Structure 1
């Protein structure tokens, strides 16, 4: 009888050990799973933070490029406006042709074949597009606005038209009405009076020369249209930079 109870006790202890081992094993498994989940969460958070850092860097660099566009527009507008003012002074000087130095008049008139052109600073944007980095920007609306800006800010149609007008219309008129004169060649350091029959420029006749006034009209019209177009791009650039700044502030929170 004593032996029977002893065996019962031994089996009971063995069974308890098995249950304890099973509970321990289950506990270990649970802890491993929890550890894995925590590690994945940490890795995901770390990856998310890295992506947001890359987004912040990209947006900051794009904002700097757009600011360069704004500065370029301001500078080009200033230079073009000053050029038009100087050309207007040349035109106004024709009121009293007797007081005009003809050689200086020709030299100043070279402003007619000069222009400013706007080229968007798109290096960061172009690299981001080619490398797929634009996907870093989570805000779909902002990302599309950036694409729209660069598509429209790339060399404007007005600049292309201005270049065409200057090269194909104004330059031939400039050569014919102003440069084909003794003073025109003198402006290049050449004295051709002894080898040609080119006459001194007739400034009084120039005042009624329709080709001259056509040239003036084309220059003022194309340049003023350019300036208007640049200001439109500037407004878009300023609004875009405000949106980028707002997004950067969100990322910093």
Structure 2
């Protein structure tokens, strides 16, 4: 092509057709400029496509993390429901006022009432994007803002922290009160100088009732937090899906 162009220019010069020569030369320059502009446009398009592809990869990973968060929330709420049921059963057995009946029951319920479950979001995918300084890849400003707010939230030092603290307080308070000669004999096969089970008076201990009631209240607060978080996650997933389709 280049040799062909040179041949035409040389022929025009030899024929002393300067007007046609300049027109042809200008035409060549215009074609070259058009070619350069097209190449730049193609490079820009390829660059944008590469960035869009990276954005899609990050969003798909974050979407999986958010879906896993929804499952974690369901598990935490299911645990809270079982624990609340056990606490309710504890109140019922304490109505009997007979330590020989309610002490073994309470000890059995301790497998659940002495535990807690808290929700922590899976932020690995988002943190990887932040660490790579690729947050700007998310072109939807609403989505970028809401993702940042979601992952900046402190889920540990919230009502969930009160759930943990109150559960630990309940355990620390009730365990010494459950101690009696018969229970030690049952589990340790040893005699002890602890009081007889008939002397246990948890059924009239206001601190035990208070701890149980506060645990229920704290779990209610935690469930409200989890419900609000569920709605937020679903909004984020909806925004991500729209962005993935665009």
Superposition TM-score tier, normalisation by shorter sequence: 0.7 to 0.9
How far does residue 171 in structure 1 lie from its aligned partner after superposition? 2.3
* 2:94 alignment counterpart: 94
Larger Rg: 1
Tell whether 2:144 aligns with 1:143. Answer: yes
Give yes or no for contact 1:87–1:109 (8 Å, CA) kept in 2: no
Which runs of no fewer than 5 residues in structure 2 stay unpaired?
Answer: 1-12
1:234 to 214, 227, 230: 230
Give yes or no for contact 1:102–1:183 (8 Å, CA) kept in 2: no
How far does residue 182 in structure 1 lie from its aligned partner after superposition? 3.4
Displacement over 6 Å in runs of 4+:
none
Q: Output one character per residue of 1:23-51: Cα deviation in whole Å (capped at 9) or x when no partner.
A: 33222221111111001111111111121
Give yes or no for contact 1:113–1:171 (8 Å, CA) kept in 2: yes
Map 1:1-253; keep pairs closer than 5 Å: 16-96=16-96, 100=101, 102-152=103-153, 154-155=155-156, 157-167=158-168, 169-178=169-178, 180-182=179-181, 185=184, 189-193=187-191, 196-202=192-198, 205-249=201-245, 251=246
- Superposition RMSD on alpha carbons, in Å? 2.5
Q: Could you say if the C-alpha distance between residues 80 and 182 of structure 1 is closer, same or farther in structure 2, counting changes exceeding 3 Å?
A: farther
**Count of aligned pairs between the two proteins:** 234
Give TM-score scaled by structure 2 length. 0.84
Bigger RCO (CA 8 Å, 6+ sep) = 1
Q: Could you say if the C-alpha distance between residues 221 and 158 of structure 1 is closer, same or farther in structure 2, counting changes exceeding 3 Å?
A: same
Which runs of no fewer than 5 residues in structure 1 stay unpaired?
Answer: 1-12
Give yes or no for contact 1:182–1:191 (8 Å, CA) kept in 2: no
SS in 1 for 2:188: coil
Q: Mean alpha-carbon deviation: is it higher for 124-133 or for 220-229? A: 220-229
How far does residue 72 in structure 1 lie from its aligned partner after superposition? 0.8
| Distance in 1, Cα, partners of 2:147 & 2:166 | 31
